[in-house]
Each structure stands twice: as C-alpha cells, then as structure tokens.
Amino acid sequence: MKQQNEPFRFDEVDELAVNSIRILSAEMVERANSGHPGMPMGFAMIAHILWSRFLRYNPDDPFWNGRDRFILSAGHGSALQYCLLHIAGYNLPMEELKNFRQLDSRTPGHPENFLTAGVETTTGPLGQGIANAVGMAVGQRYVREQLGLHDTNGFDPLDHTIFVVASDGDMQEGISSEAASFAGHQKLGSLVVLYDDNQISIDGSTSLAWSEDVGKRFEAYGWHILRADGLNPEEIYQSIHDAVNEKNRPTLVLCKTIIGYGSPNKSDKSAAHGAPLGEEELELARKQLGWEYPPFTVPDEVYVHYARNADEGRQAQEQWQRSLDEWLQNHPERIKLWVQLMMGRLPEKWDERLTYDPKGEAMATRSASGKALNAIAPALRPLLGGCADLAGSVKTMMKDQGDFQPESPGGRNLYFGIREHAMGAIANGMAMYGSLRPYTGTFLIFSDYMRPPIRLAALMRLPVIFLFSHDSFGVGEDGPTHQPVEHYAALRSIPGLYVFRPADVAEMFEAWRFAILKEDAPVGILSTRQKLDAIDRTIYAPGKETWKGGYVLAETNNTPSPKVILIATGSEVTLAMRAFEVLKEKGIGVRVVSLPCWELFEEQDQSYRDEVLPPHIKARVGIESGITQGWERYIGDEGVMLGLNHFGASAPGNVLAKEFGFTVENVIEHVGLVLK
C-alpha cells in the first residue's frame, strides 16, 4: 500500500476523474451495445480513491511482486477496470476501450488475466474473485513465513494489500460465504473487500430475494466491518485507510452506492444493470454530470493526475528492488527459496525420491498418491494444499510439514472444511501468487461442487492439482449418491484439463511427476478406494509410458499380431489384465492398452496412436466403470463397451462388480462378441 503522508483532499480534478470513469464506462457499453454500465457508474468514486490514494502499482511491470492486488470479483463491471487501467497508464490504449466486447480486443466482456495486462484473475462467475483473493492472501502469508520475513528489520517485500471489489451478486453466491468463513478463521489481515452495496440485481431490487444483514454475517465470520457512503470521498478514504491498517482480520467495507449514478432515469434501477443506457439517456447523463467533452475523451488533467500515481509506483518498485537485493545478499540461504516460491524454479533433484518398485505392489491408488505426495513434499516447498475434510481418505496429508493456521502460517497442510467450491477457487488464487503449486482433495463425486473453479483453472492455465479419490462404484456401501458415474466424462470435457486415472503405483507416481512439471495447465488425478493388483513393470511396459497418455501395457507373443484389443483406465486395467491372462491361455492374440490420460494420448503423433490402436484391428473392447460417452473414438464402430450408463447401488464393491458385469467372465464374453 502507498504511504499516506498528506491529509486527504478531494478537488476538481478528482471529481473530473470520477466522472471520466462514469461516462467512459457508459460509452464503452453503448458502443458495444452490450454490457453493464450501472456498476462502474455507481462505484467510480470508490475506485478512483482506491487507485489514486492507496493502490501500489507500476503500469510498466503489471506483475511486480511487491504490488497491491486489485481483483474485480464483480466481473460484469469490467468496463470499470478497463477505464482504470487505461487512465493509469497500462498498455490498454483508448482504441481497445472502443472495441469493448469485440473479437480479438483486450477488453472482453469479463476480465481475463491472460489477455489484459493488469488484470489479476479471470472473473465473471460471481464469487470466484473473492475466493481467488482469499487464495492470494493464503499464498502471501505462506511465502512470507517460509522466507522468514518476520526478521527483515522493517523491510518486507511482500507487505501488500489484496483489494477486492464485490457486488450483491458475489455476496449472494454460496462460494463467497464459504471463502469468507475460511478467511475469517485464518485471520487473513491483508484482505480488504469493498462491497458495492447498491441493492440492485438484474431482476430488480435485491429485496425480492434477499433480506439478510451482510455486515453481521461477515462479522460472525470474524471479519472487521466498516461502512461508507459511496458518494462521500472523505468516508471512503477513511474506511479504506482503516481497512488496510487492520492486520489481524480481513476487512469488509460496505460501500452504499447508487447503481447507474448520473443517469437521471435509470439510476438506482435494474435498467442500469445489464444493458446500455441508450443514446438519449447517455446524453442526459452527460448533462447531469456536467460532462462537455467529446465521446471517449479523458481530460488531460486526469491523465496527469494518474501519471503521478504511476511515477510513485515506479519509484516504489525501484526502492523495493534495491531493498530486496540487499536483503537477499544478507540472507543468501533464502535465495533458493525466493526463486522457488516467487520465480517458478524447481529445486534440483526434487523428484529423486519419487521412485517405485517396478515389480509393483497391490495397493489402492489413493494410497499410492499419498506416497507420491510425501516423496516429493520435503524437497518442493512451493507445494501446499489440503482437503475438504477428507484428508485421511484421500491421502492428502504431508507428514511433518505442519498445519496452515493463524498461529503457524508456514504450515503446508490446509484444512478447507467442507467447502469444495471455495477450496477450488482458493487453490486457483494460491496458484496465482508467486509460483506456488497448490493441490486440493475430495471424493470424485464432489467434483460437481468444484466444476466452476476447475473450469477457470483450465481457462487461466493454472498449475493446480485436483486430487479425487473414491473414483468408482468400488466405493461400495455408500451407494449411488457417492458413486461417480458421469464424472470421468464431465472432467474430460473441460478443455485444457489433464485428467489422469492411474492403474497402479507406477502410473500414479508418473501422473504426479507430470503434474508438477506441467506449469501451464491444471491436472486432475483420480484414484481408487479399493486395492488394485500389482503390475510387474519388469515384465510389462514401464511406468514412464504413462507420459504418452495411452500405451501398450501387455500383449501376447504367440501370434503375429493381436486379434483383439482391451482398452481400459484406472481400476479396470486390473480387470483387463486378469482377462488377458485367461485369453492368453486360450491362445487368443490380445493386447491390453492402458489409457490413463486421454488428453496426453491425443497430443501424441497420429503415427504413435495408430501404433497403439492399429486402425486395421476393429475388434476392441473398452472397459471403464462410468458412462460410455466419448469412448467411441477408441473402440470404433465395430468395438463394444463395458461401461456403466446408469447410477450405482448400495452394496460391497465386489458385489457390485458382479452385479454390473465388471468380471473377467463378462470381459471374455465381450471379446467373443467382437470376434464373431
């Protein structure tokens, strides 16, 4: 946060800047004939005071590690952020504002951090930004403690504030409650949420569906609560000042605003929320605000005002860099940690303990995942994470690495509570802080609760590791409510997400190795509750083949070429291998293909894929304990599929396997069908 050395004054240039934001935002929406003008017009005063008096930034280096963070959780108000970035000197020229919401512009309908410099995270689905910010605050506290920044003699390179702008919609979405409850428990004092309390949503007044006291709710979570009139600059300034000086609790500032402020006929109405004002109303707004400038004009005085702020940021970064260099010179033992935690450099030999017995061991793959995690944890300090109250079941606990709590901020095991949705979005925020490598854990069935943040992780190309155990009807007695059926297909349908379903210890360890080395995409790793047979990798294909996504695991050698191919994933590879032994005894040429990661397999050359699944071999049997959607690409028109296109049932897993036909006998029957 910038130092406040002078008393607060609000003058004509400030008023001009606020109205610049109001009118420019409305003009952007009008030109696009699409968007949300009301939020930027109502929140402009608060945004201006934040950016001109408090926010520490350098438009020349948008991702400087010492900057404050600005997260627009109310992503529908993106015109506000684009106006601020433009006026503040970021690489976002006026032409981009004129191309708001148009193809190939850097001003899309909702902010995208991989597209627009200065945008910290991709928001739009309401509540995600708040939870991302919580994750950033977690990351900040963790890195500070790991680096030992409590003994820097006054210099702390990560002493910054994470500001969030949230709307009524953010507050209504359940994820914000989950994330706020977690943040309050963790006492994340660097987090400040500015709540745009205008009490208007698309359908009308929020009173149609909402009558709670948001301040009291957040107070119950353990937050520091402040209130301000969103049109009173002195109140706004004082509230933000008090918020950033509260170090022991996150702060919520309830800013009472008027949506569409300046529009004589649409302010304080839902008509200003999600549609252009219209040319006539926009002209009336110009007159009401005394705006006499041509369209898409920012007065020179406003640019000059913000240029001073940018210069302050540049100077702050220069001083910050000098202090950081000096501190690192005085603490050379922390240089390696800095480059790991903040610059993305993996330590040497980080995976030297990630070894497994090639002869295999019968084991549930959730246990194999836990072993892999604990093999790499001591050497990989950027790795931290936890589970949604299922650490013992999903095997997400790192031994001897401590718990992340207010009194132990350097702990690496997080307890997310039963908050799957927030857990995913918090992990995304952690991944955006420095170079952290967060992981989450829960049962696969509850990936339904996590789909929005998983999707956004893929969109943003974040290296988050999503661990899911209990990945089939092998869960057994818990019944169909806990037995995933459609979830393999659901996760595979997300572009950019790598989904692994390992068959044994070897595939699980290699999936983890891939996940750590894959720095530009999220990875989902699915594991079993039940033990799976050992696969002797001295006889069959080595585990490193997992990196190809699909490979020939086993093949009879008593025929020139196989007559039938068994294709399976995860626990069903065990079944395929058992059937393989029987078919081999019968003298039938058979190949077993393990397909642990479809996405990786599809990235291989066509020649390799044809080598694994020769086009001329039409006799194929796919085996997977889920819906058969998508399998047609591998089994073809003449193959058959042993899947599960219905919900499960409550019974022991071995009983269900027989009931649902996941038996060696049934696999062999399916082979008979394709060989006819």
Q: How far is CA 604 from the centre of its chain?
A: 27
Give mean pLDDT, residues 572-594. 97
Are 530 and 474 in contact by the 8 Å Cβ rule? The answer is: yes
Q: What is the DSSP letter of 50?
A: I
Q: Is the pLDDT of residue 194 over 80?
A: yes
For position 676, what pLDDT does the model report? 83
Q: Is the pLDDT of residue 250 over 80?
A: yes
Rounded CA separation 297/344 (Å) = 41
Q: Is the pLDDT of residue 480 over 90?
A: yes
Q: Which residues pair with 364 in a beta bridge?
A: 531
Percentage above 90 pLDDT, the chain? 96
For position 221, what pLDDT does the model report? 98
Q: What angle do CA 565, 566, 571 make, to 5 degrees?
A: 160
Give Dmax (Cα) for the chain.
Answer: 91
Let me know if 433 is exposed, middle or buried by CB neighbors in 10 A (0-12, 13-18, 19+): buried
For position 206, what pLDDT does the model report? 96
Let me know if 376 is exposed, middle or buried by CB neighbors in 10 A (0-12, 13-18, 19+): buried
For position 6, what pLDDT does the model report? 74
- Strands 200-201, 204-205: parallel, antiparallel or unpaired by DSSP? antiparallel
* R_g (Cα) of the chain, nearest Å: 28
DSSP string, 573-635: HHHHHHHHHHHHHTT--EEEEE-S-HHHHHHS-HHHHHHHS-TT---EEEE-SS--TTTHHHH
CB atoms within 10 A of CB 174: 12
Pick the closest to residue 129 from 463, 460, 515 (CA basis).
460
For position 3, what pLDDT does the model report? 61
Are 355 and 505 in contact by the 8 Å Cβ rule? The answer is: no
| Average pLDDT of every residue of the chain | 96
Q: Which residues pair with 555 in a beta bridge?
A: 591
CB atoms within 10 A of CB 328: 17
- Residue 516: pLDDT band by 50, 70, 90 thresholds? very high
For position 500, what pLDDT does the model report? 98
pLDDT, one tens digit per residue, over 99-157 is 999 999 999 999 999 999 999 999 999 999 999 999 999 999 999 999 998 655 678 99
- Residue 580: pLDDT band by 50, 70, 90 thresholds? very high
Phi, psi (rounded to 5 degrees) for 593: -110, 120
For position 550, what pLDDT does the model report? 98
pLDDT, one tens digit per residue, over 28-40 is 999 999 999 999 9
pLDDT, one tens digit per residue, over 656-672 is 999 999 999 999 999 99
The tokens describing 517, both together, are 């080395």
Output the pTM of the full model: 0.98
Are 567 and 575 in contact by the 8 Å Cβ rule? The answer is: no
The tokens describing 191, both together, are 């987090």
The residues assigned a catalytic role are 420
- Residue 411: pLDDT band by 50, 70, 90 thresholds? very high
The amino acid occupying position 234 is: E
For position 614, what pLDDT does the model report? 96
Domains of the chain: 12-129+165-314 (3.40.50.970), 549-675 (3.40.50.920)
Let me know if 237 is exposed, middle or buried by CB neighbors in 10 A (0-12, 13-18, 19+): buried
pLDDT, one tens digit per residue, over 77-93 is 999 999 999 999 999 99
Residues in the chain: 676
The tokens describing 176, both together, are 């914000």
Give mean pLDDT, residues 236-242. 98
Let me know if 303 is exposed, middle or buried by CB neighbors in 10 A (0-12, 13-18, 19+): middle
Q: Give rounded-to-5 percent helix, strand, coil for the chain.
A: 45, 15, 40
The amino acid occupying position 596 is: P
Rounded CA separation 670/676 (Å) = 10
- Residue 561: pLDDT band by 50, 70, 90 thresholds? confident
What is the residue whose two structure tokens read 């004082």? 238
Are 31 and 107 in contact by the 8 Å Cβ rule? The answer is: no
- Residue 560: pLDDT band by 50, 70, 90 thresholds? low
Are 463 and 640 in contact by the 8 Å Cβ rule? The answer is: no
For position 155, what pLDDT does the model report? 83
- Residue 290: pLDDT band by 50, 70, 90 thresholds? very high
For position 604, what pLDDT does the model report? 98
Rounded CA separation 357/377 (Å) = 19
Q: Is the pLDDT of residue 10 over 70?
A: yes
For position 365, what pLDDT does the model report? 98
Rounded CA separation 613/567 (Å) = 9
